[in-house]
Each structure stands twice: as C-alpha cells, then as structure tokens.
Amino acid sequence: MEPADGHPTIQHCMRSFEPYLAANRRTEKPVIHVSLNPHPDDVLTDEQLAAIGQEYMEKMGYGDQPYIIYRHEDIGRPHIHIVSLRIDGQGKKINDYKEWQRSASVCRELERKYHLLPAEKQERRESLPLTVVDYHKGDIKHQIAGVVKPVMQGYKFQSIKEFKALLGLFHVTVEETRKTIDGKNCHGLVYAATDEKGDRVGVAIKSSKIGKSVGYAALQKKFLKSKQWMAKHPVPGGTKEAIAVALKQDTRQGFLRELTGKGITAMLYENAAGVIYGVTYIDHTSRIVFKGSAFGKEFSASAVNRQYGVVPSGKEEEVPVLHPTEPETKEPGVVEVMLDIFSPESYPYPAEDLPQSLYGKKKKRKRRGPRLG
C-alpha cells in the first residue's frame, strides 16, 4: 500500500520485501546491492539516473523484482544505489552465476547508449575532489566517508601511521580498536573528525558504518598490496629531487612551502622538547606516501631534525601509542541490518574492477537453522 503523500519510507520499502524473504529462508544472501557511479564529468538528472538504474536491473534479470533506487552523494558526486532481492515471487533464488561479468558488460552497454564517459579507474581517482571535513556542518559520517573511501582507493601507503598522516590533511583521524569476543581477539577501526589543531572532535564512527572497503581487513590488504607494488617500483626520481631541493631552505616554513609548491606534503612529528622524531612525505602527484628513511638517511627524521628541529642531548624519550577501547555494542537485529543497507559502501561503475561477486568471496559455514542473511 502506497503512503498517502506518495513518498515511501524505508519501512514501506521493507514491507514490500517481506513476502519474498518469507518464501525462501534458505538463501544466505537474499539481498543484492549495487552502486552505479557515472564519471564525475557526466551531469545527469534524477530522471536519467533512475532510467539507467531501471534498465540496468532489467538487463540483469531483476526487472520483475521489487527494488529501490536512491540517489547518494557520499563520494563527492551524484550516483545511485540499488537494493533488491535474489528471491523471486515463487520463492526461487535468481541465478547469479557470473553476475559480476554480466554487470560489467551491461555497464559498458549503458555507457554507449547514454553517451557516458568511460569511468576508467585512474581517471575517476584523479577527477574526484577531496573536501576537508568540517565538523561544524554536521553529517560527519558522510563527510568522513567522502574522504576515507577515495583515499583508500587512490593512494598507496604501508602503515597505519602513513594512513593517519594522509587522513589528517582532510581533518580525519583513524584509530585501531581491539576487543575479545568469546576468547577471540577482534580488531577494528574507528574514524573521527578533527579540528584545525588536529585534535579529535565529535563522536567516532565505526568502520562498519561506512563500509567494508575501509575496514580493518581491507586496510591490512591495502598495506600488503602497497608494499608489493613499491617493492617493484623505485621511489620517483622527481619526488626525491624535490625534497633534496627543499631541504636547502633555511627555515622549516620555507622547507614546507617549497614542497607544497611541488605537490608534496611533509608531515613532521615532534615531541614536547621540539625534537623531530618522524617525517612522512605525501606525494600527491604519484599518490604515494613514504616514510622519510625510504629515500635514504639524508631525508630521514634525524636529518630533518638537524636542519629544522632540536638536536637531542641524550636518548629521545619514547612516545606512547594509545589505542582507545571500543565500547561494547549488542548484536544488531534483522531490522537494524536491513536499515544499514541504506548507508552502504559503493561498488564500482562503470569501469572499475568488479569484485568476484557482489558480496566478495563466500565463506562456507555450518548451517544452524533458517536465517534471513
């Protein structure tokens, strides 16, 4: 039954799914979620986005299914999310064999039909603007998502320290959390906004509220892939030369200003005594984050400290690393899980690498009875 004002709520949409879910409780992943993300230079109306979404669902075999298309702008430009069901009206599971391959083919076809720009991965990354988070504006979760997602996709970094340094440029911080559940150690991430001084403000956002693509497991894979890539590719000569020239400046401000003009940010870490104990270089041209020693001793923290810091008289005091404890939360119910679909992570469109399935690799597990997902 449609609402009187003609604007269905999430609850109305969920009720339209209920008969399908009730007809088949054996399927572990009954919900399908995709995101269609046009190239940033394509300007499309809501009607055009809706038409593209509808045609996509028809070509994918979901045209007769109930589905929801809604517009989102959490990654800095308009795109659409589509949520539907893999169970038809007779309770049968819709065939999803090689669905990711068919999805890529349909996206290419829609690009040609609607005269869209091919959203090549690198083009999309270079065109995507990053906006500094302003905690005064509210809607912190979407502001943070608009930073951490493209940063995870577009830059290479090898450690949590380098990742945090990069996020700090956009007034975002990240912390690792640890807790024990049923004797098993669990790791997670929380993100938060920072003020102009770099101090954390507002409520922390669990990575699961933003998406798996910025979670702990995804970050560990990112570290590994970055290390593998950087082991095969030398440090860009232009970057190294630019830092060498900047280090000839007489003042710290001149050093930092010279690097900024070359598209490089230097993050200096110093203790209360003014001793620089760490330096991280962020090259925005190659989109690579380096620790200072990666270029050689002459670019390391000790070299920068001799030039712009305070030379320590004795052994430098260790700086402790604090890991905040994540507050305990109860397991979400079915309704909470369904509602959380409406703030999901984005899957690529049109030409970014597609996952092996819309849910990634499936893990086999013992069945303990019927469940909804």
- Nearest-angstrom CA–CA distance, 17 and 86: 11
**Following DSSP, what letter does each residue of 199-226 receive, concatenated?**
-EEEEEEEGGGT-GGGSHHHHHHHHHHH
- Nearest-angstrom CA–CA distance, 171 and 132: 6
> Domains in the chain, start-ordered, CATH in brackets?
10-119+332-340 (3.30.300), 130-232 (no CATH), 237-308 (no CATH)
Residue 44 banded pLDDT, cuts 50, 70, 90: confident
Residue 118 banded pLDDT, cuts 50, 70, 90: confident
**Position 183 pLDDT exceeds 60:** yes
- Nearest-angstrom CA–CA distance, 94 and 158: 41
- Nearest-angstrom CA–CA distance, 260 and 252: 12
Dump pLDDT digits (tens) for 259-310: 988 889 988 888 888 888 889 999 988 889 988 888 888 888 888 888 888 7
CA nearest neighbour of 21 among 333, 332, 361, 338? 338
> Which amino acid belongs to residue 311?
V
Which residues are within 8 A (CB) of 88 and not within 5 positions of it... i.e. 6 or more apart? 20, 64, 65, 94
In this structure, the number of other CB atoms found within 10 A of the CB of residue 200 comes to: 16
Name the E strands within the chain: 31-36, 67-72, 79-85, 172-181, 184-194, 200-206, 264-270, 276-283, 288-291
**Position 373 pLDDT exceeds 90:** no
Residue 71 contacts residue 78 (beta carbons within 8 Å): yes
Lowest mean pLDDT among 125-139, 164-178, 220-234, 345-359: 345-359
The pTM of the full predicted model, rounded to 2 decimals, is 0.53
Per-residue exposure over 281-320, b if at least 16 CB sit within 10 Å of its own CB, e if not: bbbbebbbbbbbebbeeebbbbbbbeebbeebeeeeeeee
Q: What is the DSSP letter of 294?
A: G
Backbone angles phi, psi at 56, to 5 degrees: -60, -45
**Position 350 pLDDT exceeds 70:** no
Which residues are within 8 A (CB) of 19 and not within 5 positions of it... i.e. 6 or more apart? 89
Residue 51 banded pLDDT, cuts 50, 70, 90: very high
Predicted confidence at residue 225, as pLDDT, reads: 93
Predicted confidence at residue 129, as pLDDT, reads: 53
